[in-house]
Structure 1
């Protein structure tokens, strides 16, 4: 089943990414009064948790450096309630997905079936230990098939993300360290130039790299060591393993049907770069 979890991640991730790449979602959040992209990001993604402190969002999201969350949370909720940001994110993401797919695919029986099966999987796993997944599960499931497909794909993305955080914690890899390992896995060198971390203070990045060298995960030139590559692979393998439970709610025939229904939809979204 780990192969299934990895396959479904590949098929569903591009659908989720319209939230972050497509203009419609950003426009909906800006129309509410969110002043920057990151205001809208933190307000809408964290909103299912409720008006929790920055420390809670920082812990749940895991991958942001110290202080980054606090620049937005709880300030983003002072004038815009979390419920409004959640609704705006859904409207914008569904609109973007509908535009990218085009009228024929968006209204197709295949999309409806993909939405139904994805929703069944998204509701099929235990919530214990899955903070973001549990929070997303509290939101109403949209009736519109396009919005429902996006919503359920996002629920599954947060389930996988919770498992990924657990795998990172178990490997004693912090959020910034995870970005370094991801950059090296993508062939980016120096890894400090990776877009997710290049803006951090040089002293902070140097300390992270020094820590990884001390642990034998990167070498003096900032490349993977064998131990570093093995650690990264272990994290990815465990992430796949921990992402399995939702798909156990589907029969083998339903899993095949879901993959077949998603393939033409995902191909169209990938071709558009999820935007």
Structure 2
């Protein structure tokens, strides 16, 4: 069945902290122990592993929002230290351990088991067409242990939404770095202050902002124009629309139950700094 867009977006907000425990200290340390040189080696090894031994150009295309050359600093180097299959296993174990650490006694609660079951039903029901990273994750076995299963389901749903978001960005002619600029402005920041792009060469970032200014999306002071703000809102709304089919397998009561079950878990992760 269809669900209100507000609830679909609400699921994104609940799942994001759960899925992104994979980028926290415990998984990072597990990858470093395998010989990764830094955090980003582990990031690319773990997140790209479901795609297999593809070249950096493919990972760059699928991930979409990294600057030119960033992926190639890690792919294929990491595959000389770990196989994709090993990276998948390390990422799952480390992420489940991190999630368990963040949520404490909630990890052993019946509510978590139920949330994992409902989230998994949604996560394995979404369409795969045009969603390369989600499809790669869908091909993996679903973990049996409830905490790992919840993390896996959250990751599937996150990447399903992310693949759709990238499609919307392409349709609106917004590149990966431009997308980061729009996020920064939506948060009330200037582009040069935003963590994902502040490291870019000043001339490169200025050129991106100038391009957005030329399209009438950024004003002379480097902030949003009305058109820029409207475009950002339209992209987010369309992204939610494309994420919605994943939840069609759940009825209204089940989706409400899932959201209620995820609430304390997401809050615990955020409170713990995850």
TM range (shorter): over 0.9
Q: Distance in 1 between matches of 2:95 and 2:128?
A: 25
Instruction: Map 1:91-130; keep pairs closer than 5 Å.
Output: 91-102=93-104, 104-130=105-131
Residue 203 of structure 1 is matched in structure 2 by 203
Residue 82 of structure 1 is matched in structure 2 by 84
Q: Distance in 1 between matches of 2:34 and 2:73?
A: 18
Residue 161 of structure 2 is matched in structure 1 by 160
> Pick from 70, 73, 77: which aligns with 1:71?
73
Q: Distance in 1 between matches of 2:94 and 2:77?
A: 22
Please say which of residues 126-135 and 264-273 is displaced more in the overlay: 264-273
The question of 1:7 aligning with 2:19 is answered no
Residue 19 of structure 1 is matched in structure 2 by 22
Report the Cα offset of residue 98 of structure 1.
0.6
* Contact persistence 2:45–2:78 (CA under 8 A): yes
Moved over 2 A (4+): none
SS in 1 for 2:37: coil
* Contact persistence 1:218–1:224 (CA under 8 A): yes
Residue 238 of structure 1 is matched in structure 2 by 238
Instruction: Map 1:112-261; keep pairs closer than 5 Å.
Output: 112-189=113-190, 191-261=191-261
Q: Which runs of 5+ in 2 are unaligned?
A: none
Q: Distance in 1 between matches of 2:69 and 2:30?
A: 26
What is the CA deviation profile of residues 167-187 of structure 1, one whole-angstrom value per residue up to 9, with x for unaligned ones?
A: 111110000000001000001
Q: Distance in 1 between matches of 2:118 and 2:92?
A: 19
How big is the alpha-carbon RMSD for the aligned residues of Structure 1 and Structure 2?
A: 0.9
* Contact persistence 2:185–2:224 (CA under 8 A): yes
Q: Distance in 2 between matches of 1:131 and 1:172?
A: 20
Give the TM-score of the pair, scaled to structure 1. 0.97
Q: Which runs of 5+ in 1 are unaligned?
A: none
Report the Cα offset of residue 79 of structure 1.
2.6
Q: Distance in 2 between matches of 1:173 and 1:166?
A: 10
